[in-house]
Structure 1
């Protein structure tokens, strides 16, 4: 790939992955600048490090840039991309830049429809606590590591391998994790089969002598594992007796979970975690299996897992007001919602649960329509906020209002904006209740607004 030398201009520098690239380049010693239409904690953190962030996209922002990195959210008509083309500057995408930054490292790549941010964050945290000084690039902000990326000082890299636009096909890992494969991004892939095939291609990019760890309790990831088992070193993990790595004696409780880690039937020790839900057990088991394979002592894994808080926006406690607890949760797929609500019921037994869900893109409502109607078990009340459109235009018959009208249990109400969602939730909430904001978009702004209203 093109050698990346500064000054580097990053279009969409405020995005989770793009801000991570900016941070890594900055820590590597490159001069970095960028632009983004929305200020955020990510852009403010970069500015505090000395990175210039322009609040608009304009050709003159390029300045003396020698290379441009552009988010997938902009096209060739973006004024900065167009200006770079006219000047003959290389315009690179996220996947090839990340692949270039990882060159020379031993790469651990974590993929999957769900759980990849938490799993990759925990792997990076365990390795950091064990003194390995990993480079890492995550799809969320780690509460334990203090951010979403670090250049590190060691020879190992942990990367969240995102399937969006087949980004993970640019990576050639030594260790690959596939947590699960549940049809998603069908606006891009077209069919569930094509989506699953992308994970199969990712698995086959393992370097010679590499290791694939696949979630054994998920049909999709198990099919991928079985398809490559004759060609690669494949191990499975999960709660089933047929998994290479098994979590046994699982006890879920109000403070998290405890379980025993077994490898091929041999008990290695017990882990205690503060994260809720069976899916948290599976993510922790995957991280433990990876790190044990990298030579990390079990005691170091046990200590790190016990104090691991997870990523921001993953079952994150925002605060309490008027006796009502508010939690922010990133879940934006029916499978994720179902798992998170099950965890919430274990964490908060006997308390009423109120959900405020913001659908993430019209197409995801449409291609997962039936699943969206039947994933809310555990909620007592539900508010459906207007869709976070991202890059899309509305689809007739598959709007947030349509979704609210068609969900039978619990009866759902529709909120056209944040103010309406806050008003509805505040009217429903009683002391002792738990309110969860659910979604990958801007719904994260509703929680603080609700806390203010309740206080």
Structure 2
């Protein structure tokens, strides 16, 4: 069997479910969804990763065999391999697979194979795709449409990154970071926004990144549909070149699905959706922020397009629980500052790692809790991102009251001079707009944090690396729901 043979298999109905499929890097958020779907379809799944996490625990509980090291012994009697683009050609399992003529597929190629036998709906963009995909999943499930869903984050309502459905709907988060979204052939595409990020994969050219999204949109058949955010200037740049039907959404007065009257109170966001035919929907979200209203508008545009009833949309979004690590309220933190002073701080965890995402999170907090002392514990993610967006980071990070900045989470990138956390610390400190502390050792976090509490605090855990694991270990015993 070769890759061409594999691409002909309809894995949803195949008689060949005795096939053994091995994932290299199975603990990654991009891999788990595919592994879960194939497990639920009855295939024999194994995988390798360097570290145990909640993802690997779940896969093992469902019957996957997982090795916590990379070794050629892991791939004995395997029919084919699925790997992420992050896996090096020097990986021991890749070398052994090539030597033994075991077919190797990229993660995106496997998504392509699964999608080709379904009605594909892909959600992509620089920000918001995970939350938007989660909202769509909830709406479709609430409406009895039985979709198959593969997401880049854990969907709280189903406590999973993926859902195997029985209908023709196949809803996936599509990754733009390495242009692997171009493997997919969806009938409907949602683009939430396009901004500078991951441009090291695009020869440091924002125009090439924009062009990649345009190529993706041009892959939609003429009978398909593009749903795009008209508030985003880069999307507006490529909009005239899209040939299929286009539905726009946003706060912009010209949007086909327009957000109006946005208001926010604590964790609630209230707004109105106005359609071109003047029909209106009144919405309540349990997650705040104008950016989440935009995510909801994208989901609503798709749902209406697919004939979902308005009352199902409203009910589903009102119950929407959010996505893990996307402005996730963890509870109140009880810390004894001194003998007579026990502080109770709100604790929020957020995956955002791009200046725009940080800015939206800060704006959201300031809108709902303007008088709170905002303490951000931030772990920059990747030297390339820090380098390319350095001045934006300095500007945005100067907007919190207290900043604790950890070392850059490299994600296996080489060090870049001037793109490190100490450089950020020095330049933010020069601005004089807030109090910034450089944390060189995780063991120093708690003491630094406690020293800055005033009893009226919001602590924001911010970043995409391992900061959530670090902070969980430090604070878990102090959190009360």
TM range (shorter): over 0.9
Cα distance in 2, alignment partners of residues 215 and 356 from structure 1: 31
Look up the SS of the partner of 1:119 in the other structure: helix
- Residue matched to 2:210: 196
- Residue matched to 1:12: 25
Cα distance in 1, alignment partners of residues 65 and 221 from structure 2: 37
Counting matched residue pairs gives 453
Cα distance in 2, alignment partners of residues 263 and 247 from structure 1: 9
Counterpart contact for 1:216–1:243, Cα < 8 Å: yes
- Residue matched to 2:387: 366
The answer to whether 1:161 aligns with 2:171 is: no
The 1:452/1:172 distance shift into structure 2, 3 A limit, reads: closer
The answer to whether 1:262 aligns with 2:274 is: yes
- Residue matched to 1:241: 253
Alpha-carbon distance, 1:2 to partner: 4.1
Look up the SS of the partner of 2:120 in the other structure: strand
Cα distance in 1, alignment partners of residues 30 and 462 from structure 2: 21
- Residue matched to 2:98: 85
Equivalent of 1:428, from 425, 437, 452? 452
- Residue matched to 1:185: 198
- Residue matched to 2:186: 173
Alpha-carbon distance, 1:453 to partner: 7.4
Q: Deviations over 1:86-116 (max 9, x none)?
A: 1111011011001111222111111110000
- Residue matched to 2:109: 96
Equivalent of 1:66, from 74, 79, 104? 79
- Residue matched to 1:380: 401
Runs of 4 or more consecutive aligned structure 1 residues displaced over 6 Å after TM superposition: none
Counterpart contact for 1:422–1:446, Cα < 8 Å: no
Equivalent of 2:466, from 423, 442, 448? 442
- Residue matched to 2:299: 287
Look up the SS of the partner of 1:356 in the other structure: strand
The answer to whether 1:120 aligns with 2:133 is: yes
Cα distance in 2, alignment partners of residues 142 and 418 from structure 1: 29
The answer to whether 1:411 aligns with 2:435 is: yes
Alpha-carbon distance, 1:419 to partner: 1.9
Equivalent of 2:348, from 327, 330, 335? 327
Counterpart contact for 1:405–1:413, Cα < 8 Å: no
Cα distance in 2, alignment partners of residues 317 and 375 from structure 1: 22
Equivalent of 2:377, from 341, 353, 356? 356
Alpha-carbon distance, 1:449 to partner: 3.4
Alpha-carbon distance, 1:265 to partner: 4.9
TM-score w.r.t. the length of structure 2 is 0.91
- Residue matched to 2:317: 305
Cα distance in 2, alignment partners of residues 16 and 363 from structure 1: 21
Counterpart contact for 1:327–1:447, Cα < 8 Å: no
Pick which of 45-54 and 18-27 moved more: 18-27
The answer to whether 1:316 aligns with 2:328 is: yes
Alpha-carbon distance, 1:267 to partner: 2.4
Look up the SS of the partner of 1:214 in the other structure: strand
Cα distance in 1, alignment partners of residues 244 and 224 from structure 2: 7
Runs of 5+ unmatched residues, structure 1: none
Cα distance in 2, alignment partners of residues 342 and 251 from structure 1: 13
Q: Deviations over 1:291-328 (max 9, x none)?
A: 11111001000000001011100011223222012111
Alpha-carbon distance, 1:377 to partner: 5.8
Q: Deviations over 1:181-222 (max 9, x none)?
A: 011102211111111111111111112311111111111122
- Residue matched to 2:13: none
Runs of 5+ unmatched residues, structure 2: 10-15, 335-343
The answer to whether 1:29 aligns with 2:50 is: no
Equivalent of 2:233, from 205, 219, 224? 219
Alpha-carbon distance, 1:56 to partner: 0.4
Cα distance in 2, alignment partners of residues 120 and 43 from structure 1: 22
Counterpart contact for 1:260–1:267, Cα < 8 Å: no
Cα distance in 2, alignment partners of residues 448 and 158 from structure 1: 31
Alpha-carbon distance, 1:447 to partner: 3.0
Look up the SS of the partner of 1:266 in the other structure: coil
Counterpart contact for 2:226–2:247, Cα < 8 Å: yes
Look up the SS of the partner of 1:423 in the other structure: helix
Pick which of 249-258 and 135-144 moved more: 249-258
Q: Deviations over 1:140-164 (max 9, x none)?
A: 1111221111221111011001102
Counterpart contact for 1:71–1:93, Cα < 8 Å: yes
Equivalent of 1:52, from 65, 68, 87? 65
Look up the SS of the partner of 1:157 in the other structure: strand
